Amino acid sequence: MLDYAALRAVAAVVETGSFEKAARRLNVTPSAVSQRVRQIEERLGTALVVRGSPCQATEAGDRLCRHMETVGLLEADLFERLPALAQAGPEGARATVSIAANADSLATWFLTAIADFTQATGHLVHLAVDDEEHTAEWLQRGAVLAAVTSLEQPVIGCRRLALGKLRYRATASPAFVERHFPEGVTREALARTPSLVFSQKDRLQTRWMQLAVGEDIPGPTHCLPSTQGFVDACLAGMGWGMNPEMLVAAHLADGRLVELHPQMPLDIPLFWQINRLTADRLETLTRAVLSVAREALLT
């Protein structure tokens, strides 16, 4: 049988980032937490926690943590139906749900859905942020229970639901465009003009250039891993970048930003993928995500 005291210790260390904080959460000593983690690692013959500041889960540890999230959801459902049992559970315990989403969704619409879910259920949420083309990888390796992703193909063991399209605009300040694109968006201009990228994984600028001039043009780039920072950098004249239309519509309307190529948006289809084993118990989450997505995204 599984040693759930040990599994809770592993999950607490990963969630809090340290053995000391995990001990305070579980109301035991740090040595007791360390012993429980060590014993289950020895039993399984593999490391579950990478010791450090903060402590992090190994791939095997991630899967055990997702199992404990599922257990937490089951317990929450059971306690709701049989309140007397809640007294026997850990004091103040709440179910935790790990989710992956891209930063632009988080900055524009997804946080509203998460807030609705947490207010309706009282559950806690751990959000992992990654590029929309890579959030599905978090699902594939068992690091999260659900994800907002641009991957249309269902991840094995997951349900997939279409959310809509997040529209992007290639924008820059008027002075920047006048200086760097006096003859319009050309291959030569793109090759010498600074652009903004969120990270090495960010392909939005590449995809837009292929749409605009038929190919990816390597050029100088500023790496700026912040959605709001992208908007601010464009306003400040640092470079051009792909910004969610929702974040720059007002700036485009008042002329503080302009499009590099008017009437050439880039629409990115988004999907909600959720682990089938927990999908029914996270129906409230899925409903919240779909409801907000219908209002915020393009069909």
Count how many domains the chain has: 1
The HSE-up count of residue 68 (CA atoms within 13 Å, CB side) is: 24
pLDDT, tens only, 188-204: 999 999 999 999 889 99
Residue 254: CB atoms within 10 A of its CB come to 8
Full-model pTM: 0.84
pLDDT at residue 195, rounded to an integer: 97
pLDDT at residue 2, rounded to an integer: 78
Range of the domain at 174: 166-268
Residue 287 domain flag: no
Residue 260 domain flag: yes
Residue 11 domain flag: no
pLDDT at residue 76, rounded to an integer: 81
Residue 16 domain flag: no
pLDDT at residue 70, rounded to an integer: 86
Residue 4 domain flag: no
Residue 280 domain flag: no
pLDDT, tens only, 35-62: 999 999 999 999 999 999 999 999 999 8
pLDDT in tens, the chain (299 residues): 778 899 999 999 998 999 999 999 899 999 999 999 999 999 999 999 999 999 999 999 988 998 888 888 888 877 777 776 656 555 556 889 999 999 999 999 999 999 999 999 999 999 999 999 999 999 998 889 999 999 999 999 999 999 999 999 999 999 999 999 999 999 999 999 999 999 988 999 999 999 999 999 999 999 999 999 999 999 999 999 999 999 999 999 999 999 999 889 999 999 999 999 899 999 999 999 999 999 999 99
Q: Are 178 and 193 spatial neighbours (Cβ–Cβ below 8 Å)? A: no
> 3-class SS at 99?
strand
Residue 208 CA to its chain's centroid (Å): 23
Peptide bond into 225 cis (omega under 30): no
Round to whole Å and give the CA distance between 74 and 56.
25
CATH number at residue 193: 3.40.190.10
Which residue in 60, 71, 53 sits closest to 37, CA to CA?
A: 60
Residue 95 domain flag: no
pLDDT at residue 291, rounded to an integer: 98
pLDDT at residue 89, rounded to an integer: 54
Residue 90 domain flag: no
What the block records as the tokens of 282 is 């996270």
The HSE-up count of residue 141 (CA atoms within 13 Å, CB side) is: 12
Helix (H) or strand (E) holding 38: helix 30-44
pLDDT at residue 91, rounded to an integer: 54
Round to whole Å and give the CA distance between 81 and 133.
39
